[in-house]
């Protein structure tokens, strides 16, 4: 996870923003009621949705048939929500409408519980109170209640919409799905309003301020405000603040429309609010219990960002921010690898973090300025375009920092990585550079995420690609096998086509109407620039025998991390070897050159802070190991720099070697290198293990219930 503790300033700002959201949404019934006195309901919704759609359309991407289909379904539901809300407001007071609309929280919770567990007495009481309160406010002898029924129906439809959105939203880029819904709603209401269009022009021109307010402030700006706020405020607190919305609604109705509450209205409103609070507090209890079951006891239980649905479908708490808020918030704060979506915390130093958190769990400390430095070095000196290999470290902070530093292309190997990038950085370009892919992954990457670059290393994989996508607008790279012996870990045993196979694959790719490209990988942690020279000589042979129009040459990764005690040529020597060899190829001017470093960009970007749980002689047992974030130490024969940190007193100057064991019951959970640390090391001391940015966070897992997934930022 990325730890969710926030500063007091951030949380207070989050409260302020959520109160602003409740204030704005509380004004919606009054604004709509004011607008429909002159502008027809259909025209009012048309203008509102067109404005919101125009605001979000520039951010839409990866539109395809399935996204459009599901967007239309959601758009129909959203249209129904707007229509029933507006029709209901024709015959009901705005202040009463705000309380009735709040029933959507009750309906959502009922749907959740009916499908997943028995209803608790608290929920039953909440439902009885809420509906009794509405009945108490609405019914009076001889008074029509048709508007109340329309609003109850609207609240029900909102609940259905939330559940459908929870089903569809994980599949697509959030903003694209949002835009389709708004345009569908605008189109449907425009069709309904065509007969009255001519007569409405003057009404629209006379009421444009309030229509702009509804479209821009009440629809679009609310999405942005709640997106930011929900990164800093826990879910149950956000939901509690949302229950204030009906109160604001009543105030607006009183101040602007002169509507007043009778005594029975006050009583009914109080009953509704109590019911809402009971529902929210019940949901919070369920969430906390669920989290406690999925997190080791000595790790902090953190509050998830309010979302449309968690992985188990729980904690759906959004009100009429149209849940698009939560959907878009997910695009900024994606779920962590251990299924907890959280904000992150920044510290000035490791010592600052230790004094604040006093962690008994491993903490990955991320140094963002090192990422920026390495990214700038690569983009300034590599003779081509730089991609990042997501598998090396997929933490959202890392990905965001690389994107800000100018790396906008990403080497992805799975749908999970593609989804992470598409959600977190919708403007980034994903390259599906795994030579072996399932048919489902190929189809979904193309249709849902708009991926247009793929890799093959065999005729069988190319046939699979053609069978799924046909002759289409994609670039297909042929991955060539490379000569071993230059890197710590050879990758050509598993992947890569020989020269003869590469020639045939390139010819077939071009004949199928696809754009051909070539890629290779010299191996992980390459130690000799000559590896790239030899690989590019193979590329030259392939191109001489298959003179296709190459779109780009991808020289892959393998760029080394400069670990302590390793003698490796400088990175500039690697770049020079690549540039000189490519010059010999005499590629066309429009043929680009790519590289896809992982380790080379992030090897020193992180450290892991562990705690000593036991010392037995010169054996120490720490709370992280080869099943957590430290497997690379053994795999690549590393001896990382270490530092003992003790907050209450300085450690001894004399050093000694310690044998290091991880926390699990597995006997192989031991590091092959020793740590040289102060001789007075004791239980409770912390150790910072440096040079842990590559293949550390990415490899953590829950073996024996231990997980090294807490990430903080040092800046």
Residues identified as active-site: 665
Identify the sign of the CA torsion 627, 632, 638, 641. negative
Please tell me the distance from the alpha carbon of residue 415 to that of residue 452, in angstroms, as a whole number: 14
Q: Look at the block and give the residue holding tokens 């989050």.
A: 14
Q: What are phi and psi of 404, to 5 degrees?
A: -60, -30
Listed in sequence order, the residues at least 6 apart from 276 whose beta carbon sits closer than 8 Å to its beta carbon are 102, 105, 106, 126, 130, 243
Do β-strands 619-622 and 515-520 pair in parallel, antiparallel, or remain unpaired?
Answer: unpaired
Query: Is residue 264 a contact partner of residue 94, using CB atoms and an 8 Å limit?
Result: no
What tokens were used for 117? 């567990």
What tokens were used for 656? 């000694």
Listed in sequence order, the residues at least 6 apart from 377 whose beta carbon sits closer than 8 Å to its beta carbon are 571
Taken as a whole, the chain contains a residue count of: 715
Q: Say which DSSP state 619 is in.
A: E
Angle at 668 between CA 663 and CA 670, to 5 degrees: 55
Please tell me the distance from the alpha carbon of residue 286 to that of residue 23, in angstroms, as a whole number: 28
Please tell me the distance from the alpha carbon of residue 476 to that of residue 365, in angstroms, as a whole number: 38
Q: Look at the block and give the residue holding tokens 């005594």.
A: 263
Q: Say which DSSP state 652 is in.
A: P
Torsion of CA 679, 680, 684, 690, to 10 degrees: -30
Helical residues (DSSP H) of 383-495, grouped into ranges:
396-404, 415-424, 439-447, 459-469
What tokens were used for 562? 């400069």
Q: Say which DSSP state 670 is in.
A: B
How many CA atoms, within 13 angstroms, populate the side-chain half-sphere of residue 252?
25
Please tell me the distance from the alpha carbon of residue 16 to that of residue 624, in angstroms, as a whole number: 39
* Cα of 633 vs its chain's centroid, Å: 29
Please tell me the distance from the alpha carbon of residue 205 to that of residue 210, in angstroms, as a whole number: 10
Please tell me the distance from the alpha carbon of residue 446 to that of residue 437, in angstroms, as a whole number: 12
Helix (H) or strand (E) run with residue 714 in it: strand 710-714
DSSP SS3 for 657: strand
Helical residues (DSSP H) of 258-364, grouped into ranges:
263-294, 324-332, 350-357
């Amino acid at each position: 996870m990325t730890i969710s503790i926030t500063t007091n300033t951030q949380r207070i700002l989050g409260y302020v923003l959520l109160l602003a959201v409740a204030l704005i949404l509380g004004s919606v019934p009054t604004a709509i009621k004011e607008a429909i006195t002159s502008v027809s309901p259909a025209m009012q919704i048309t203008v509102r949705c067109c404005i919101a759609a125009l605001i979000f359309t520039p951010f839409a991407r990866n539109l395809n048939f399935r996204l459009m289909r599901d967007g239309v379904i959601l758009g129909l539901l959203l249209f129904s929500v707007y229509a029933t809300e507006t029709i209901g407001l024709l015959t009901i007071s705005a202040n009463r409408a705000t309380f009735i609309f709040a029933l959507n929280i009750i309906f959502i919770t009922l749907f959740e519980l009916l499908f997943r567990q028995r209803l608790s007495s608290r929920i039953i009481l909440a439902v009885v109170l809420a509906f009794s309160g509405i009945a108490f406010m609405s019914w009076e002898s001889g008074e029509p209640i048709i508007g109340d029924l329309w609003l109850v129906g609207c609240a029900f439809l909102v609940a259905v919409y939330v559940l459908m959105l929870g089903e569809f939203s994980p599949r697509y880029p959030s903003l694209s799905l949002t835009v389709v819904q708004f345009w569908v709603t605008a189109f449907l209401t425009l069709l309904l309003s065509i007969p009255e269009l001519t007569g409405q022009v003057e009404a629209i021109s006379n009421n444009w301020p309030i229509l702009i307010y509804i479209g821009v402030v009440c629809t679009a700006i609310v999405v942005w405000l709640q997106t930011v706020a929900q990164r800093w405020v826990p879910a149950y607190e956000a939901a509690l603040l949302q229950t204030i919305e009906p109160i604001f609604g009543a105030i607006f109705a009183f101040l602007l429309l002169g509507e007043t509450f009778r005594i029975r209205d006050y009583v009914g409103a109080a009953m509704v609010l109590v019911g809402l609070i009971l529902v929210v507090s019940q949901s919070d209890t369920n969430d906390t219990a669920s989290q406690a079951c999925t997190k080791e006891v000595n790790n902090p239980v953190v509050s998830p960002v309010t979302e449309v649905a968690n992985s188990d479908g729980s904690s759906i708490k959004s009100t009429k921010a149209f849940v698009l808020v939560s959907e878009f918030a997910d695009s900024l704060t994606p779920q962590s690898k251990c299924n907890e979506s959280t904000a992150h915390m920044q510290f000035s130093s490791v010592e600052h973090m230790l004094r604040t958190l006093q962690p008994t769990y491993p903490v990955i400390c991320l140094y963002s300025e090192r990422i920026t430095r390495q990214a700038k070095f690569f983009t300034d000196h590599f003779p081509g375009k730089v991609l990042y290999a997501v598998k090396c470290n997929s933490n959202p902070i890392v990905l965001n920092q690389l994107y800000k530093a100018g790396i906008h292309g990403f080497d992805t190997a799975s749908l999970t990585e593609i989804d992470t990038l598409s959600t977190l950085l919708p403007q980034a370009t994903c390259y599906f550079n795994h030579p072996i892919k399932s048919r489902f992954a190929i189809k979904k990457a193309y249709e849902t995420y708009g991926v247009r670059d793929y890799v093959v290393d065999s005729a069988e994989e190319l046939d699979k690609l053609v069978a799924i996508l046909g002759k289409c607008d994609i670039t297909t790279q042929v991955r060539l096998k490379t000569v071993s012996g230059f890197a710590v870990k050879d990758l050509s045993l598993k992947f890569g086509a020989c020269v003869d196979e590469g020639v045939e694959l390139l010819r077939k790719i071009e004949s199928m109407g696809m754009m051909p490209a070539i890629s290779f990988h010299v191996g992980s942690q390459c130690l000799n620039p000559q590896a790239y020279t030899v690989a590019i000589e193979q590329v030259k042979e392939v191109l001489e025998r298959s003179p296709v129009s190459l779109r780009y040459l991808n020289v892959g990764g393998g760029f080394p991390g400069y670990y302590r005690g390793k003698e490796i040529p400088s990175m500039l020597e690697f770049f020079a070897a690549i540039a000189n060899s490519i010059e010999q190829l005499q590629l066309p001017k429009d043929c680009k050159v790519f590289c896809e470093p992982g380790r080379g960009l992030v090897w020193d970007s992180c450290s892991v802070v562990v705690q000593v749980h036991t010392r037995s002689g010169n054996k120490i047992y720490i709370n992280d190991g080869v099943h957590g974030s430290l497997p690379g130490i053994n795999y690549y024969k590393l001896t990382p720099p270490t530092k003992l940190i003790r907050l209450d007193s300085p450690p001894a100057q004399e050093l000694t070697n310690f044998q290091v064991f991880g926390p699990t019951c597995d006997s192989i959970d031991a590091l092959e290198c020793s740590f040289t640390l102060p001789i007075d090391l004791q239980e409770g001391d912390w150790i910072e293990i440096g040079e842990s940015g590559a293949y550390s966070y990415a490899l953590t897992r829950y073996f024996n219930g231990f997980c090294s997934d807490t990430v903080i930022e040092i800046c």
